[in-house]
Amino acid sequence: MSEVLLEVNNLKKYFPITRGFIKSKVGDVKAVDDVSLFIKEGETLGIVGESGCGKSTLGRTLLRLYDATAGEVRFRGKDVLNAPKDQIKELRKEMQIVFQDPYSSLNPRMTVSQIVGEALVEHGLYRKGKELDDYVVEIMNKCGLARYHMNRYPHEFSGGQRQRIGVARALALSPSFIVADEPVSALDVSIQSQVINLFTDLQRELNISYMFISHDLGVVRYISHRVGVMYLGSMVELADKNALFDNSKHPYTQALLSAIPHPDPTMKRDRIILEGDIPSPANPPSGCKFHTRCMYVEDICREEVPEFRDLGGEHFVACHLAK
Amino acid sequence: MTKLLEVKDLKTYFYTDDGVVKAVDGVDFSVEAGKTIGIVGESGCGKSITAMSILRLIPDPPGKIVNGEVIFEEEDLTKVSDKRIREIRGNNISMIFQEPMTSLNPVFTVGFQIGEVLMLHQKLSEEEAKKRAIEMINLVGIPNAERIVGEYPHQLSGGMRQRVMIAMALACQPKLLIADEPTTALDVTIQAQILEIMNDLKSRLNTSIMLITHDLGVISEMADHVIVMYSGKVVEDAPIMELFKNPRHPYTIGLMASIPSLVKEGQRLETIPGAVPNPLYLPKGCYFHPRCKYATDECKKAQPELREVAPGHKAACIRAEEVTR
């Protein structure tokens, strides 16, 4: 757990806003705006933030599921964003994704073994036949599915089991990096813990790195080594999880953490209630994007964009006032 | 403490082509004046159907309240006339739904939708109703109330829409507010705002709240008393502190052990094996026994009764005294 596996530098993804018949461009939604981070081997980086903060777009852009507007992504030193077609196919074996919705992310007309085996055939690793089937069963077993599930269709499974199919599909090519985009959000609590355990078991066994995207801070704290917090397309804080949860430096992180209802009725805390709603990412506030809701706001916050700087010990924060 | 609402042996069944779904199967509980009762359970456990049964909002057919009483201020709501239940809905008991997007009418302004309740129940004129609507919007903490009354739901964010729903529900100062997953569709910082508004209104207007949620965190912050449901039945019923300190049903214990924020670092999450049973093919005996690590042969034979295991604390498990967290 030391080598840097994935490096993201100043990544930007803007979606154009168009208007009228000829679709003239009238602006940009800055979904991901100048984000930098790195992920080490065998490590889980949690990404948290509220809806619309760009966390899913970040995950998809660095896998090249969206074309980035600017920036750089390096996977084991190789340039991902400018890789030619044959190289990107090689990279895709290494970088996989598990989607949020276990209902819409599986093709209803394919059986489980087709879903899990498709990529293996596509990449020319196996031909259809017994060998492929045996390997598919091996992967399925790892994910808590049995051989007799092979020829069933997604609708025959419960939500938790479907998410296991999604994980098995991502795992088939033995990737070293998986983006998990809210993989447990659609599941009930008792099922959620089964899938979380699956993720941690696989990491221990196969040394996979995860980017674990979630809005559930309890889950993120449990599963991650380091955590990044996003607000309106920007990374506002990124640190070791204990440093982040126990000693957060950014006012937004502090408000977000204090807002989580804790399942312990004896605990009474001072809650920071943020005023108002998240501004539109098409028209973000000037300077620090959080200044409209921040209780410590000063003049400099309205004018200058804060730098994403290291406070020491790899505790990064984008705030003028943080010390 | 006076009981505001008492639900006795409520059974709501759905008659489908595949068989009878016993969505709510013999549920008992009561709500005290000025208190919050929390109903917890996973999807499909019957918590929403229980709430809808109280206001008789079950689509019939296929659904039907087949048994039980819902006593609200000495009236049995399951027996009163349609006219009477319409007088009670929105006036004495009102409800907030999970989806603020779909529970507001897109073609009317929010001011009209809040005022409509008042014109209907309290016979206010349109002008008075609008004035009250502005007051209500202020009360739930939306700025620029004068402008917001004239806006349509699509012009508002999710958090604002949910606040409009609360304003509408509270317009007639009901004695009981039923909130069905009121914050599930919202972000945590917005959720914190909504929960604070609900708590604040409860203490100011002395409204009782029946809060339905799957989130034990929300429950622990809001509720005075909790009911845990599983497959249409109440499995545990206890005051909040007692429930978290001393859960007595294996299902409740399993739920708590599977929450990441309650587990110590590095410790493995406990899981409840399997999934919630199909309501058409419920197991014999205790519905939870196929997933329960304490199950004995006895559990497979007969359904356990909900019985008192400590003062004020009920659980439906024959081994409740032995199981521990």
Q: How far is the alpha carbon of B60 from chain A, nearest alpha carbon, in Å? A: 28
At residue B38, what is the residue type?
A: G
Q: Is the ipTM of this complex over 0.90?
A: no
- Chains A, B: CB pairs < 8 Å: 115
Q: What is the pLDDT of residue A2?
A: 65
Q: What is the pLDDT of residue A274?
A: 81
| CB spacing of A222 vs B263 below 8 angstroms | yes
Q: What is the pLDDT of residue A1?
A: 47
| CB spacing of B42 vs A188 below 8 angstroms | yes
Q: How far is the alpha carbon of B227 from chain A, nearest alpha carbon, in Å? A: 15
pLDDT in tens, chain B (325 residues): 688 999 999 999 999 888 888 899 999 999 998 899 999 988 888 888 999 999 998 888 888 899 999 999 888 998 999 999 998 988 899 998 877 777 888 999 999 999 998 998 888 898 899 998 998 888 777 878 888 889 998 888 777 888 888 888 888 888 999 999 888 777 788 788 888 888 888 888 888 999 998 888 899 889 999 999 999 999 999 999 999 989 999 999 988 888 887 777 677 888 888 778 888 888 889 999 998 988 889 899 888 989 999 898 999 999 888 887 6
Please state the domain extents for chain A.
250-322
pLDDT tens per residue across span B181-215: 888 777 788 788 888 888 888 888 888 999 998 88
Mutation pick from A50, A51, A164, A188 vs chain B, by most beta carbons of B within 10 Å, is A188
Q: What is the pLDDT of residue A310?
A: 92
Query: Using the 8-state DSSP alphabet, how is residue B282 labeled?
Result: P
Mutation pick from A215, A222, A280 vs chain B, by most beta carbons of B within 10 Å, is A222
Q: What is the pLDDT of residue A212?
A: 95
Which residues sit opposite B187 in a β-bridge? Answer: none
Q: How far is the alpha carbon of B32 from chain A, nearest alpha carbon, in Å? A: 19
| CB spacing of B258 vs A189 below 8 angstroms | yes
At residue A36, what is the residue type?
A: S
CATH topology assigned to domain B3-229: Rossmann fold (3.40.50)
pLDDT, average across residues A170-175: 90
Please determine, for residue A253, whether its predicted confidence score (pLDDT) is greater than 90.
yes
Please state the domain extents for chain B.
3-229, 231-315
| CB spacing of A217 vs B259 below 8 angstroms | no
Q: What is the pLDDT of residue A227?
A: 95
Is the four-CA dihedral A267, A272, A276, A281 of positive or negative sign? Answer: negative
Q: By CA distance, what is A192's nearest residue in B?
A: B258
Question: What is the Cα–Cα distance from A53 to B189, expressed in whole angstroms?
Answer: 13
Q: What are the start-end ranges of the E strands in chain B? A: 3-16, 19-32, 36-40, 63-72, 75-76, 93-96, 176-180, 208-213, 225-230, 233-239, 307-310, 313-315
Q: Answer for the pair B258, A189: CB distance below 8 angstroms, yes or no.
A: yes
Please determine, for residue A19, whether its predicted confidence score (pLDDT) is greater than 50.
yes
Question: Which residues in A287-302 are b (16+ Cβ under 10 Å) and which e?
Answer: bbbbbbbbeebeeebe
B274 in contact with A at a CB cutoff of 8 Å?
no
In order, the DSSP letters of A156-175 are GS-HHHHHHHHHHHHHTT--
| CB spacing of A160 vs B275 below 8 angstroms | yes
Residues of B in contact with A255 (CB under 8 A): 189
Q: What is the pLDDT of residue A268?
A: 67
Residue B311: asked if its preceding bond is cis (omega within 30°), the reply is: no
Q: What percent of chain A has pLDDT over 70?
A: 99
Q: Is B242 left (phi over 0), alpha (psi -120 to 50) or beta?
A: alpha
Task: Name the residue facing B214 among A158, A189, A260 (closest C-beta).
Answer: A189
Question: What is the Cα–Cα distance from B79 to B76, expressed in whole angstroms?
Answer: 6
Q: What is the pLDDT of residue A269?
A: 67
Higher model confidence: residue A310 or residue B324? A310
Please determine, for residue A69, whether its predicted confidence score (pLDDT) is greater than 80.
yes
Residues of B in contact with A265 (CB under 8 A): 220-221, 240-241, 244
Q: How far is the alpha carbon of A146 from chain B, nearest alpha carbon, in Å? A: 14
Residue A319 C-beta-side C-alpha neighbours within 13 Å: 27
Question: What is the Cα–Cα distance from B27 to B269, expressed in whole angstroms?
Answer: 31
Residue B111 C-beta-side C-alpha neighbours within 13 Å: 18
| CB spacing of B221 vs A261 below 8 angstroms | yes
Q: pLDDT averaged over chain A?
A: 89
Instruction: Scan residues 213-242 of A and list those with Cβ closer than 8 Å to B.
Output: 215, 217-219, 221-223
pLDDT tens per residue across span A91-135: 888 999 998 888 888 999 999 999 999 999 988 888 888 899 999
Give the distance, in angstroms, between the CA of residue A28 and the centroid of all CA atoms in the same chain.
22
Q: Answer for the pair B11, B22: CB distance below 8 angstroms, yes or no.
A: yes
Mutation pick from A53, A103, A161, A189 vs chain B, by most beta carbons of B within 10 Å, is A189
Question: What is the Cα–Cα distance from A90 to A86, expressed in whole angstroms?
Answer: 7
CA distances from A160 to A101, A174, A180, A198, B42 (A): 11, 22, 15, 11, 13
CA dihedral B184, A270, A313, A50 (to 10 degrees): 20
CA distances from B67 to B3, B27, B28 (A): 21, 10, 12
Q: Answer for the pair A110, A165: CB distance below 8 angstroms, yes or no.
A: no
Q: Answer for the pair A239, A73: CB distance below 8 angstroms, yes or no.
A: no
Q: How far is the alpha carbon of B69 from chain A, nearest alpha carbon, in Å? A: 31
pLDDT tens per residue across span A190-215: 788 888 988 999 899 999 999 999 98
Q: By CA distance, what is B45's nearest residue in A?
A: A188
Give the distance, in angstroms, between the CA of residue A161 and the centroid of all CA atoms in the same chain.
21
Give the distance, in angstroms, between the CA of residue A215 and the centroid of all CA atoms in the same chain.
10
Which residues sit opposite B239 in a β-bridge? Answer: B225
Higher model confidence: residue B192 or residue A5? A5
Is the four-CA dihedral A102, B181, A264, A211 of positive or negative sign? Answer: positive
| CB spacing of B220 vs A261 below 8 angstroms | yes
Residue whose C-alpha is closest to residue B36's, from B261, B233, B240, B281: B240
Residues of B in contact with A276 (CB under 8 A): 143
Please determine, for residue A46, whether its predicted confidence score (pLDDT) is greater than 60.
yes
Task: Name the residue facing A221 among B191, B219, B260 (closest C-beta).
Answer: B260
Instruction: Scan residues 251-310 of A and list those with Cβ closer than 8 Å to B.
Output: 255-256, 258-266, 271, 273-274, 276-278
